[in-house]
Amino acid sequence: EITRPDFIDLMPSFDPKGAYLYFLSARVFDPVYDTHYFDLGFPRGLKPYLIPLQADRPSPFSAATRPPKAPGDSSPKDEAKDGDETGIDIDLEGIADRIVAFPVPEGRYLRIAGADGRALFSSRPVEGSLGSSWSSGEDQPKGKLEAFDFAADKVETVMEGISDFSLSQNRKVLAITAGPKLRVVPAAFKETNGKAGQEPGRESGWVDLERIRVEVHPGLEWRQMFKEAWRLQRDQFWRPDMSGVDWRDVAVRYLPLVDRVGARSEFSDLMWEMQGELGTSHAYELGGDYRPEPQWLLGFLGADLAFDGRSWKIARVPHGDSWEPAASSPLARPGLDIKEGDRIIAVDGADLDASTVPGAALVDRAGRPVRLTVRRGRRKARTVIVETLTNEFGLRYRDWVEANRERVHRETGGTVGYVHIPDMGPRGYAEFHRYYKNEVDYPGLIVDVRNNRGGHVSQLLLEKLARRRIGYDLTRYGRPEPYPDDAPMGPMVALTDEFAGSDGDIFSHAFKLYGLGPLIGKRTWGGVIGIFPRHALVDGTITTQPEFSFWFEDVGWGVENYGTDPDIEVDITPQDFAAGRDPQLERAITEVQFIIERERPTVPEFEAPPSRRPPRLP
């Protein structure tokens, strides 16, 4: 061991001369205050470091160890000891105490590598996690490649807008990826002309990847992919005995079927069946090299439309976030003056009637401006331009959450709050915290995890829900604030269903184990063996290997392939759904009000504070 196990140390790389070992380490603890909540975090924390491999070698950043340059001497002197064919002598005694930090600020560093006379390291800016997905493909090239020049004793920017970099084995050639683009340059390269020089060629270093032509034999490619996916499961499945499944026998039985596959979609089916032999959740096959299909995406107006026998009327405009274009109705944009009850007469000049419906007129108009001819009552028709949505999910979701929240407030007389968590990833984390700070001070709280698509943040949300008020912070002005902050005021119940899975399963089960309140709804999905997708097959396919299994103190491994049972089972029948009824939410409102009535949570009546006034003498 070269470093102590107190910190996260990663990406080691040797100096070509054998003088130093470079690495990245998360050992900077400079907390940053959260904007929305009383919380702190470490969004950067990483820096590049080096270790002198010989005990008598000084830090390269110390001015006292730098000999002055002779007049006219512009060439840097390499003080490192060249290794010979016998190798490099490394003094291991005390090596963990020879760590030296590069004189650069902390950041989100990704990789470090040693080249002749300098060390290269890449970083990315701190940014939000909404929109990130392991299945979304190549990230935008937002990284920066820098180099510390030991002779010049300074940091230089090599290139901005990168994804990753690599050095050749002899450390003479540098390869840089920027999204789907590749650049190959000398290791001493430094971009000096900004965005210029983007044309492929030896001078710029950009490689024209379009020149590459590859002939693919699908049958042979599928066979290789099958073997690779089988191997990934063998090496990374969470149990070495493959849950008792004879994995070699699976290969023997399924591999001959590859020769009978006639299309990429059939190969996908075969992969799902092969991995399904494990009987384990999260064994997926996604993506792949499918022939692109033509798309004529439907544009959406973000409204409920109804035909009244004469024309198409705007029956209702869902309530979204006006500041988020993807989560608001195009008809609700400022300045349009479109209201419920108005009629849409035509779309881009095409008249609407019983046979020409709005959906037909909006084919191939997703995300594009369209001209709507609208009329209010007997007024003259007018034309407005709106930009359609590519989908209405964000708008409809916000409208559904706000409707549930308003209903809970109304039917409980303002005594119960409501929070919905759509998943246990960045979006679910954001949704929880968007509403929690406003809903937590009600005497009761309903936490809704129905349709939760899973993720990994359940424990962070449960930490907040499990807080218990043991005191209050009082000031001269303002209302009493609970201690600890954001602790629920009173009882809570949770809603779950058969569509809550993965970390949604875990949240639902942990809610019961922590005794936070009754769990209402239906038995959850039943898949709690997690994945870390990081290996793509040759055509871009992602296969997942169940790697992280969960055990609970009450049921052991029992949540996998079963789920967790609610304390109170309530179904939503097709008739309920068609009529717009939500009996699960109705029961949650009833239950939490019953507990509130029993426990009567409230802010306490504080006794008079101690006084420093001396007592009056008789």
Active site residue ranges: 282, 502, 560
Of 590, 213, 574, 204, nearest to 415 by C-alpha is: 590
Extract the tokens encoding 503: 């970390």
Measured CA to CA, the distance from residue 116 to residue 109 in angstroms comes to: 21
H-run or E-run covering 296: none
Return d(Cα 594, Cα 598) in angstroms, integer. 6
d(CA 529, CA 546): 6
Residue bearing tokens 């999260």: 282
Rounded Cα gap, residues 101 and 49, in angstroms: 4
Q: DSSP characters for 435-456?
A: HHHHHTTSSEEEEE-TT---BS
Tokens linked to 342: 């108005």
Question: From the CB of residue 152, how many other CB atoms can be counted at a distance below 10 Å?
Answer: 12
**Token output for 117:** 């006379």
Classify residue 210 as exposed, middle or buried by CB count within 10 Å of its CB (0-12, 13-18, 19+). exposed
Structure token digits, residue 317: 């405009």
Asked whether the beta carbons of 450 and 499 are under 8 A apart, the reply is yes
Task: Indicate the helix (H) or strand (E) that contains 78.
Answer: none
Listed residue (343, 232, 312) closest to 278, CA to CA: 232
Report CA 76 to chain centroid distance, whole Å.
46
Q: Distance of CA 81 to CAs 20, 26, 89, 155, Å?
A: 10, 29, 10, 23
Contact assessment for residue 537 and residue 543, using Cβ atoms and an 8 Å cutoff:
yes
Q: Is 129 exposed, middle or buried (0-12, 13-18, 19+ CB in 10 A)?
A: exposed
The count of C-alpha atoms lying within 13 angstroms of the C-alpha of 424, restricted to the half-sphere facing its C-beta, is 24
C-alpha span between 236 and 245 (Å, rounded): 14
Separation CA 270–CA 250 (nearest Å)? 12
Per the CB < 8 A criterion, the answer to whether 285 and 542 are in contact is yes
If you search the block for the tokens 């230089």, which residue do you land on?
156
- Cα 235 from Cα 231, distance rounded (Å): 6
